[in-house]
Amino acid sequence: MSKILVIEDELSVRENILARLEAEGFETLNAENGINGIAVALAQTPDLIICDVMMPELDGYGVLTTLRQDPLTATIPFIFLTAKADKGDIREGMELGADDYLTKPFSRDELLQSIIARLKKQAAMRQQTSGSASPSPEAVSGVKSLQPSPKELQRQVKALQQSFGLQEELLPSHQELSNFLAKINMAIFMLQNTTSEVQRDRCLGILQEACTDELKLLNQMPHLQELLSPENLRLLLQFSLIHSDITGQVSDTE
């Protein structure tokens, strides 16, 4: 019996999918958000994962990226659920390693066809790599040793929660700085293209306000630098929340 994990934040949608799967004889697991979904996947190693794209705390792309980085879950078939069929979103999911995409609302047949196709493909790949011979006791023991302990799972979930806490602290500062720069660019453009004294005074007022606000933000840099400690940077890098070149930029300022 195949074991399927459903990660979906909408309760009614999640329960509907679980009911359909259980009616077809599948063993089911479920999680209401991305962080819990990762923890369940690492603990239970399901045969297939169905995951919503848009979720709070950690979206489906973040879940897929994290699971693909762990040897225990890297090859589990992964089906995305999305409320929109945007080609750019589908391409992004496929580039990250998703196996299929289902657009809501989907029928029972569409769901089952996608699941069965992915499970058959996975079974064929396993047969090719392992041959017809049964795995040795040593191999089975080796796989079991890869299973994370409850303490390790707890540590990974805590690290995920901490990393997204850091991201939430950094995001407002990034947005504020972007707003200030947009105001400055707009004012400079207007200054270059106006001959009216009134408009010029208005532009100068916008520049003065934006520069004052930016100075306030820059005065918070000691706090931001403390937040971006080497330990915190490693944590953000671990879950692909920042690019690796940022660490070099921060270390250069220290």
- State how far the Cα of 124 lies from the Cα of 47, in Å rounded to an integer: 13
User: Are residues 142 and 158 both part of a single domain?
Assistant: no
pLDDT value for 178: 52
Res 111: pLDDT: 92
Q: Which of 129, 146, 163 is the last residue of a domain?
A: 146
Residues 11 and 130 in one domain: yes
Q: Are 133 and 14 contained in the same domain?
A: yes
Question: Are residues 236 and 162 part of one domain?
Answer: yes
- Same domain flag for 18 and 103: yes
Please say which residue of 95, 121, 146 terminates a domain: 146
pLDDT in tens, 161-203: 555 554 555 445 555 555 555 555 555 656 666 667 776 677 6
- Confidence at residue 17, expressed as pLDDT on a 0 to 100 scale: 95
Residue 24: per-residue pLDDT: 92
Q: Tell me, yes or no, whether 131 and 164 share the same domain.
A: no
Do 18 and 92 share a structural domain? Answer: yes
Contact 77, 121 (CB under 8 A): yes
The pLDDT of residue 32? 92
Distance CA 230, CA 246 (A): 11
Counts for the chain of helices (H) and strands (E), in that order:
11, 5
Are 7 and 121 part of one and the same domain?
yes
139 and 241 both lie in a single domain: no
Angstrom distance (rounded) from CA 108 to CA 88: 26
Same domain, 190 and 126: no
CATH number for position 46? 3.40.50.2300
Q: Do 225 and 253 meet the contact criterion of CB atoms below 8 Å apart?
A: yes
Structural domain boundaries, residue 223: 154-253
Within the chain, which residues score under 50 in pLDDT?
133, 138-145, 166, 170-171, 221-223, 225, 227-228, 236, 239-254
CA angle 53, 236, 165 (to 5 degrees): 75
Q: Which of 118, 146, 174 is the last residue of a domain?
A: 146
Domain count, the chain: 2
11 and 87 co-located in one domain:
yes
